[in-house]
Amino acid sequence: MARIYPERLPEHVLVDPRRTAERAVFEALSQLPDPFVVYYSVAWLSRRPAGDAQDGEADFVIAHPELGVLVLEVKGGAISYDGIIGEWTSVNRNGEVFHIKDPAAQARTSKHALLQKLQDMPGWSKDWLTIGHAVAFPDTVVANIQLRPDLPKEIVLDATSLATLEQALRRIFAYFQQADGRAGRPGADRLQVMSDLLAKSFSLRTPLGVELAYQDERLIELTEQQMQVLDMLSFQRRATVCGCAGSGKTILALEKARRLAAEGFDVLLTCFNIQLAEHLTHRAPDGVNVFHFHGLCEHLIKEAGVRAIPPRDPGSYYNQFLPDMLLEAIENLGPQYDAIVVDEGQDFRENWWLALNELLRDPKTGVLYVFFDDNQNLYQGVTQLAGLIDSQPFLLVENCRNTQQIHRLVASFHQQGSRLKARGPLGTAPQWLPYTTTDEMLRILRKTLHTLVNEEAIAPQDLVVLTPRAEARSALAEGLTLGNFSLTRKSQHPPGQIQVSTIHRFKGLERKVVIIAELDEAAHRDKNLILYIGCSRARVHLILLHDHGFSM
C-alpha cells in the first residue's frame, strides 16, 4: 500500500461537511500501491529570488520514485466556470452556491512554489524532475467535455477516475514527461528530502533524570491539539498562540523557529526573561538567533554605534530608552530578520512590539508568531496586537508539563481554571510545610534538600528553590550554606550547589522538583499570580514552605 501522511485524517476533517470531497480523494489515494507516497494538506514557506517570503500549500502532493511528483488541488460539489466574468463556483448537495478559487491556477502556482522550495532544501539534486499539477472534481463526471486551455482533460480527475486511480495518475505523469517519453525520476534520495519537508510529525525527548515515582526518563509528545496548531501556523504568516502554563508553548515556539531556520529563513527567537533566553540558546539550532528582548536592544545598539545618555531610572531605561534606541539602531543597520518568534509574549509592552516589527525585512507581511499566557502577565504587557496580528489567537488548554496533582493546584489559581485539562500521570500531592520563623524555615529547607538529594536520589540540577521575594529582601542569599549544600543564583553551577531564583525570573522555565519558600503575608498582594507561575514550574514534585499566617 502507498505511504500516506497522515495515516488517518484528523477528527476535525472527518466531521467537517465541507471536506467530503477531500475525504473521498484521501480514501482513494490511500489504496494506491507501493511505492506511491501521498502527503495531505501540506503547507510551507519559501523565499523568492528577491528574498521575500512566499506561501505554498496543496491539498495533496503525490510522489513516485520512478514517475515524478504531482500537486493535486481538490474541489467538491458541482463545478461551473463563467468565461465572461472569469468566475468559478461550486454547488453542494443542498443547492448552496460557493465562489471558489481557480483550481488550475492554484495547482499550477503550488507546483512552482513546491519545486522552488525543494530546490532550496539541502540534499536536493538539481537533476531534471517530472513535476506536474492536476485538479480533482470527485463529485462530477467530466467525460469528453473540453474545459479550458490551461485545464486539459488529461490532468483532470473526476468521480470515474477514483475507481481506477493508479491508471489515471500514470496518465497525468505521462502528460508531463519529456517529448521522448522519459521521466525525470525523483529517486529514493529526493523522496527522502521531500518527506523531511512535508511529513510533519515529530517528537521531542526531555531528559528527567531519576523519576520520583516511576521512571528515569519520560517522553514528552505534543498532543493532537498542539500538532494541529503547529500545522495551522504553516498556513499563516502571523499568528498568536495563547496557552496555559505547561501547555507546551515554549516547545512549540522552539520547534517553529527550528522549522523556519531549516527552510532558509533568518530567524529571531526572543523572550523577556534572561534565564529563559539562556535555556533557549542551549536548545536552538544553528540559524536561530536567541536574545532576551533587552539583550537584543543592547546588542544592536552597540553594533549600530548609537550613542545616548541613558536615564538613571531602571524602569525608564528598560521600558522606553532601550526600545527607542533599538529603532534608531534599525535605521542604521536596516532590518535583520525574515521571521520572529516570541515566547512569553504577555510580558512585552506596546512600544516593544513596534520596534520588533521594524526588525523584519518585510514589516507588513514578514513572519511573526507570538506565544503567550494571559494569566502570567506580571509586567502589564500587551497581549492584543491590533495592526500587527489581527486574527484571534489559537488556544492551548491542555497541560502536558505537570502531574495531575500539581495541575489541580495550578488550575485553582487560573482565571478560567475549570477549562484547563491535564494529560500527565496522577503523581504525588503537593506538600505544604508550615513554619513560624525564618530560622525554622531555613531548618525545614535544609532537611528537605537533604531528603530529596541524599535519600530520594534527586540530582541537585533537577530541583530549584523559588521565592516571591527580591534578592535584596530574601533570606535565601547567594552562598548561604544549608547542611552540605550552598545556594546560588546562577543557573549553571557545580553539583554541590542548589539554584535559588525569584519566581519572576524563573518564568518560562521548569524543574522536575520545585520548592517554593518564603510564602508569607508579604506575598499576599499577587498571591494567585505568584502561585500560578511558581507552582506550574514543577514537573513531578512540588513543596511549598509557608508561614502560619499565609492563607489560601
Same domain (yes/no): 342, 423: no
Average pLDDT, the chain: 86
Same domain (yes/no): 103, 53: yes
Nearest CA-CA partner of 372 in 249, 526, 231:
249
The answer, yes or no, to whether the previous bond of 35 is cis (omega within 30 of 0) is yes
The more confidently predicted of residues 522 and 37 is: 37
**In the prediction, which pLDDT does 181 show?**
67
Same domain (yes/no): 190, 286: no
Would you place residue 200 in the very low, low, confident or very high pLDDT band (cuts 50, 70, 90)?
Answer: low
Q: Assess if residue 217 is contained within a domain.
A: no
Same domain (yes/no): 271, 181: no
Same domain (yes/no): 292, 330: yes
Least confident of 75-89, 189-203, 390-404, 425-439: 189-203
Domains contained in the chain, number: 3
Same domain (yes/no): 172, 255: no
Same domain (yes/no): 104, 253: no
Task: Please give the model's pTM, rounded to 2 decimal places.
Answer: 0.63
Bridge partner list, 502: 467
Mean pLDDT confidence for 2-17: 86
Same domain (yes/no): 518, 478: yes
Same domain (yes/no): 425, 395: no
Mean pLDDT confidence for 2-25: 88
Same domain (yes/no): 90, 174: yes
Same domain (yes/no): 92, 152: yes
Mean pLDDT confidence for 358-366: 91
pLDDT at 177 over 90: no
Least confident of 213-227, 277-291, 490-504: 213-227
Contact present, 269 and 341 (Cβ < 8 Å): yes
Q: What is the DSSP string of 268-279?
A: EEEES-HHHHHH
**In the prediction, which pLDDT does 51 show?**
60
Q: Assess if residue 409 is contained within a domain.
A: no
Q: Is 19 exposed, middle or buried (0-12, 13-18, 19+ CB in 10 A)?
A: middle
**Domain boundaries, position 179:** 3-198
Q: Assess if residue 298 is contained within a domain.
A: yes
The more confidently predicted of residues 187 and 45 is: 187
**In the prediction, which pLDDT does 215 show?**
32
Q: What is the pLDDT of residues 229-282, one digit of tens each?
A: 778 888 889 999 988 888 888 889 999 999 999 989 999 999 999 999 999 999
Mean pLDDT confidence for 429-455: 93
Same domain (yes/no): 395, 422: no
Q: What is the DSSP string of 10-41?
A: -HHHHT-GGGHHHHHHHHHHHTPPTT-EEEEE
**In the prediction, which pLDDT does 93 show?**
86
**In the prediction, which pLDDT does 378 show?**
43
**In the prediction, which pLDDT does 507 show?**
87
